[in-house]
Amino acid sequence: MSLSGQLDSRSCVLLRLGDRRFALIADQVVELVSPSRVFRFPHRTSELDGVILRRGRVVPVCDISERLTGKRMGSRRFYLISSRPTGVAGDSIAVPVSGDCELIHADLTPAGSHDSPYVAAWLSHNGEVIEVLNLSALTPAIPEAAPSKAETPMPEVRA
Amino acid sequence: MTASTHHRAASPRTEQIILFRTSNQIFAISSASVQEVRSVDSLAGSAAELSDSTVKKVRHVLRRTDRTLYVVNSAIHFGLRPSPASLVFLLRRSRAALLVDGIEKMTTMTRLQSLPPAFCNEERLWYRGLTVLDQNVIPVVNPFGFLTDNELAQLDAITTPVTPEASPATNQAGLSR
């Protein structure tokens, strides 16, 4: 997401992680889903908790609250499913949130060079200055520059 | 078990899989990639111990007439708690045999979803993808992902592998047809 050099008015989704609020550009948000079973299997991407199943599709779960607030989310949580602009079709991720999300329209201030990479922009809402998150910088992904198996279509099933 | 690779399934977009258990975790493997399933006991006389193996997940080697198979402990491979294995999968066109706890069942998958790009480490080599069976997500293992070239080189260095020339019934990869 590139918002540099613009003062943009956008729809955003406010989400709560612990006692802090953050925002995501609404265009990136697919849906907010109630707590569901997390399927776990062995892997080496420590940032991921597992996957959830949503309409037959597998969506990885990444708890970003520890990195942003220093604390993991409690057990009772919703999942904000968001698409990621990684160039891979259908790449989405489920972020555990506390559930009280809010859709707002706000003017965005572009992030500065001193801001963390995960800050895409800033917005002001009800006297609170809120970071608009760049999920691509907060969640793991295959490096774009390194071609890998995942970038080539995997045969769905063999006859 | 001899997988019937020449048998054409009723549906053109299905694949027969074996669900197996390792350390209480269920995995799937294409039945076409499993050449034989043997009990651990039946291999007692034919497996040699590799006491000086630098690859921790490999402790035994099986010498077949046409190839050398390294027996991979699947629990250690996946970073799970080691558990008593009862079966060995001899994999087709591979130099690995796989120690597993047991077989859950054989079934058919109709869809293989690629591993989401958020998974970006060794698991991309471990799995062909994920499938959904009875509302459960099951990782489908890559039969060629159990030993890397580097690990094979380390193992070859401490054993005397059966070379392709040693057997007339070998293909270009040096493995039996």
Q: What are phi and psi of B111, to 5 degrees?
A: -150, 130
Q: How far apart are CA A62 and CA A48, in angstroms?
A: 5
> Over 50: is that where the pLDDT of A149 sits?
no
What's the pLDDT at B45? 80
CB–CB contacts below 8 A, A to B: 98
Contact criterion met (CB < 8 Å) for B118 and A140: yes
Determine which of B57, B114, B123 to mutate to test the interface with A (most A C-beta atoms within 10 Å). Answer: B114
pLDDT tens profile B40-89: 998 878 888 888 888 999 999 998 877 889 999 999 999 999 989 999 99
Determine which of A30, A36, A38, A41 to mutate to test the interface with B (most B C-beta atoms within 10 Å). Answer: A41
In chain B, alpha helices (H) = 74-77, 123-126, 149-158
Q: With helix as H, strand as E and coil as C, how does chain B read?
A: CCCCCCCCCCCCCCEEEEEEEECCEEEEEEHHHEEEEEECHHHCCCEEECCCCCCCCEEEEEECCCCEEEEEEHHHHCCCCCCCCCEEEEECCCCEEEEECEEEEEEEECCCECCCCCCCCCHHHHEEEEEEECCEEEEEECCCCCCCHHHHHHHHHHCCCCCHHHCCCECCCCCEC
Nearest residue on chain A to B78, alpha-carbon basis: A42
Contact criterion met (CB < 8 Å) for A45 and B123: yes
In a domain, B8, yes or no: no
Q: How far apart are CA B95 and CA B144, in angstroms?
A: 9
What's the pLDDT at A99? 72
Q: How far apart are CA B58 and CA B88, in angstroms?
A: 13
DSSP annotation string for A17-33: ETTEEEEEEGGGEEEEE
Contact criterion met (CB < 8 Å) for A150 and B130: no
> Over 90: is that where the pLDDT of A4 sits?
no
CATH 2.40.50.180 holds for A8-141:
yes
Cβ atoms of A97 and A130 within 8 Å: the answer is: no
Q: How far apart are CA A100 and CA A21, in angstroms?
A: 10
What's the pLDDT at A39? 97
Q: Which of B128, B129, B132 sits opposite A53 (nearest CB)?
A: B132
Contact criterion met (CB < 8 Å) for A42 and B9: no
What's the pLDDT at A147? 41
> Over 90: is that where the pLDDT of A72 sits?
no
* Structural domain harbouring B59: 17-162
In a domain, B169, yes or no: no
> Over 90: is that where the pLDDT of A58 sits?
yes
In a domain, B158, yes or no: yes
CATH number of the CATH domain containing B137: 2.40.50.180
Cβ atoms of A138 and A118 within 8 Å: the answer is: yes
Cα separations in angstroms, B38 against B17, B20, B61, B79, B89: 17, 14, 14, 23, 7
Q: How far apart are CA A156 and CA A63, in angstroms?
A: 29
What's the pLDDT at B42? 87
pLDDT tier at A144, thresholds 50, 70, 90: low
> Strands A48-54, A29-33: parallel, antiparallel or unpaired by DSSP?
unpaired
What's the pLDDT at A3? 52
Into how many domains does chain B fold?
Answer: 1
Cβ atoms of B7 and B96 within 8 Å: the answer is: no
What's the pLDDT at A71? 84
In a domain, B2, yes or no: no
Contact criterion met (CB < 8 Å) for A150 and B121: no
What's the pLDDT at B170? 35
Task: Give the gap in angstroms from C-alpha B5 to the nearest C-alpha of chain A.
Answer: 11
The tens place of each residue's pLDDT in chain B, 177 residues long, gives 444 445 554 555 899 999 999 999 999 999 999 999 999 998 878 888 888 888 999 999 998 877 889 999 999 999 999 989 999 999 999 999 999 999 999 999 999 999 999 999 999 999 999 999 999 999 999 999 999 999 999 999 888 655 555 444 333 333 333
pLDDT tens profile A39-54: 999 999 999 999 999 9
Which residue in this structure is represented by tokens 């130099």? B95
In a domain, B101, yes or no: yes
